[in-house]
Amino acid sequence: MKSIVAMVRADYPTVYQDISGAMQLAGTPQIATGSRVAIKINICEARTPETGAITHPLFLDAVLHYLREHYENLKVFVVESDATVVLADDYIKWFGFLPVMQKWQAEWSNLSKQKVIPHKINGRVLKEVPVAEVLEGSYIISLSKLKTNTLTGVTFSLKNQFGCLPLVDKSIYHDRIDDVIADVNMVLKPHFSFVDGIIGMGGTQGPALGIPVPAKVIVCGADPVAVDSVCARIMGFNPRFVGHIRKSARAGVGSLNYELKGLSIKEARINFEINKPEMWLLKLGGSLQRRAQKRLRDAWKS
């Protein structure tokens, strides 16, 4: 059976109506009264929302509005973790998330500061996934962005879940990032995924330093592999050739086969100014830089 994915035109001033429309197409998620809901936003670096690098607070506002309007007594948490370039506690204050959380009685939770519960898996790289307590038993909603990524080509809901790992230095997994993303999603697969593509990010330096692209779409659905497959197609990538999407599908996280409702891929397509050879060279350049600096330090030391 094909997974249902919805895609609609959207803009921030009308984002609540746009999300409501998308949910009608995707099918309203079943969330039991009184459930705990964890909304995983995406803050990959200290960039302001209009750059397309981070989840827009207006998008979070609309999703929280929708949840409060359609469900009762939900205990809602907004979550993100620290990383080498992320000071999550600061960034939610700096970029306008706190007033939104206060408005809809949602609580902030920094996953790097939570007690973790290890989950054993037979993953490609990880044999154990540390899960922050707040995510345990929660209904997880992913609010990711439509972006390029120098390491993984693209980044949407599956890659957003990589940010659920509480450890700060996540770069230790960069060499096998596709496998690790699939492993994390075996345990922390979002129950529902939104991809905020109202302002996406293109160019060769995503996910933080690329080109803001006004793609003006929202993509959503219950199957993150299917949602990400649609997003990849919008950006001109074949999802079967995107390592972490293919590997997540193989790991049983979701399906590459989808039924798309709403906008077609053709209607949503916009130039993301992606230069694939340059992206590859930049990845190589980053690695050369790390090696050169290490060699220099080692030479001095010896």
* Count of residues in contact with other proteins, rule CB under 8 A: 30
Min separation Cβ 207 and other proteins, Å: 11
Residue 300 interacting with other proteins (CB under 8 A)? yes
> Under rule CB under 8 A, which residues in 206-235 are in contact with other proteins?
208-209
Min separation Cβ 95 and other proteins, Å: 7
Rounded Cα distance, 151 and 204, in Å: 10
Which of 244, 171, 216 lies closest to 14 in space, CA to CA?
Answer: 216
> Under rule CB under 8 A, which residues in 168-207 are in contact with other proteins?
168
Residue 86 interacting with other proteins (CB under 8 A)? yes
55: Cα within 13 Å, side-chain hemisphere:
29
DSSP single-letter state for residue 228 = H
Min separation Cβ 213 and other proteins, Å: 15
Centre a 10 Å sphere on the Cβ of residue 243 and count the other Cβ atoms it contains: 16
Q: Which stretch binds other proteins (CB under 8 A): 67-75, 86-94, 229-237, 239-247?
A: 86-94
Rounded Cα distance, 262 and 264, in Å: 7
> Under rule CB under 8 A, which residues in 93-112 are in contact with other proteins?
93-96, 98
Instruction: Say whether the peptide bond before residue 207 is cis (omega within 30 degrees of 0).
Output: yes
Please say whether the dihedral angle defined by the alpha carbons of residues 261, 248, 66 and 82, taken in this order, is positive or negative. Answer: negative
Min separation Cβ 60 and other proteins, Å: 15
Which of 17, 42, 82, 5 lies closest to 206 in space, CA to CA?
Answer: 42
Nearer to other proteins, 55 or 229 (CB): 55
Name the site residues for other proteins (rule: CB under 8 A).
Answer: 45-48, 51, 53, 84-87, 90, 93-96, 98, 168, 208-209, 285, 288-289, 292-293, 295-297, 299-301
